[in-house]
Structure 1
Amino acid sequence: MKRSRLQLLITALLFGATTPAFAQTPGSETSIGRQAQATPATRTVFVKMDDISFGQKSIDVKPGETVRFVLKNEGALMHEFNIGKAESQLKHQREMAALFKDGTLTPTGKAKSIVWREHFTAPSDSDPPGYPEVIEAKHDDPNAILVEPGTTKEFVWTFADASNLNFACTLPGHYQAGMVGTFVMR
């Protein structure tokens, strides 16, 4: 009984971690833009992440432009590159804090946990009570990507004709420490 409650809790956390504002499928259009595929004509912007700052405070973009962000985390902590408006990023911060509180995320990465699955056949005396399965936390918001310490990741985004867009790290305390920048629409 305890195992099935734990499995239900883990499933609810993994699937309930996004809000409707972020629950878009990759490639689907939102008011701020959408994830995209890079092409040879895609402009590349390099973004350095450190503890606790971005290498730049603003990035110029054009409505309809597709930008390939190369995100290099040179810090000791995990960071997020989240594209959005300030009000949605503040809401996302609460969700990220809950994921830290329950242990789904750690300061340096996604947590892994072991869940025991039960056998669906009649067990014999020699059968173990089940089998272990390693579950890794998921973070699949289409407008954001997590970058672990010492890694480099790419994120491609096509910008809509939206104003007041930011890029921010919404991990607990990072935004408040100034890990936020603005997109300037030109």
Structure 2
Amino acid sequence: MKSIGAAISLALCTSMLSLAAAAASDDQMQGAAHRHGAHDHGASLVGKSGDPAKVTRTVVVDMNDTMRFSPSTITVKQGEVVRFVVNNSGKLKHEMVIGSASELKEHAQMMMKFPEMEHAEANQVTLAPGMSGNLVWQFDSAGKVEFACLQPGHFEAGMKGIVAVEGKM
């Protein structure tokens, strides 16, 4: 009898530990998503969500399974509002996320930990194979702004690009 009671106690303990671990994982995921979302509210050094009525130029960007963007370097003027028409010509899901080098690296690491994480932010467009989407962005500060695909493994494979923001003359 004692061994049955001990087995039941052990099973209950194991179940409770599993539930606690799952809850901690959910809390980490929500915290990570919250931290990521903090990058997208208001203006930042990389710019802000642009007003579609104020678009001054459209740039077509292709994403493909060679883990590259085409073009991978884009030049804009400070203050310019750009509509990116982003095409996924590959057979894998890809995304274009605009951010600083540190934000993109942090987000890529988070995506490796939580590969099923879904998110929709103003600074990104995520596309299934064969799909197209738009991203409108205003570049407020001169300097270098980066973009990348943060699907697990894609950033690490070199799927990155640069927006060179030229200062006002």
Where do 1:56-95 residues align within 5 Å? 56-95=71-110
Number of equivalenced pairs:
149
Q: What CA deviation, in whole Å up to 9, does each residue of 1:92-140 have, x standing for no partner?
A: 111111221xxx25xxxxxxxxxxxxxxxxxxxxxxxxxxxxxxxx303
- For residue 142 of structure 1, the aligned residue among 104, 122, 133 is 122
**Larger-gyration structure (1/2):** 2
TM-superposed deviation, 1:53: 1.2
Task: State the distance in 1 between where 2:29 and 2:50 align.
Answer: 24
* Larger fraction in strand: 1
Task: State the distance in 1 between where 2:126 and 2:48 align.
Answer: 17
TM-superposed deviation, 1:9: 6.9
Q: TM-score, normalised by structure 2?
A: 0.74
Q: Is the contact made by 1:70 and 1:152 (CA closer than 8 Å) also made in structure 2?
A: yes
Match of 2:136 in 1: 156
TM-superposed deviation, 1:30: 1.6
Match of 2:52 in 1: 38
Match of 2:148 in 1: 168
Tell me: higher relative CO, structure 1 or 2? Use CA pairs within 8 A at least 6 residues apart.
1
Task: State the distance in 1 between where 2:121 and 2:92 align.
Answer: 20
Q: Percent identity?
A: 33
Give 1:77's aligned amino acid: L
Q: Is the contact made by 1:18 and 1:141 (CA closer than 8 Å) also made in structure 2?
A: no
CA 1:6 to 1:74, structure 2 compared with 1: closer, same or farther past 3 Å?
A: farther
CA 1:60 to 1:9, structure 2 compared with 1: closer, same or farther past 3 Å?
A: same
- Which segments of 5 or more consecutive residues in structure 1 lack a partner in the other structure? 106-137
Instruction: Provide the secondary structure at the position in 2 that maps to 1:70.
Output: strand
TM-superposed deviation, 1:75: 0.4
Match of 1:184 in 2: 164
TM-superposed deviation, 1:7: 9.6
Match of 2:43 in 1: 29
Task: State the distance in 1 between where 2:105 and 2:55 align.
Answer: 33
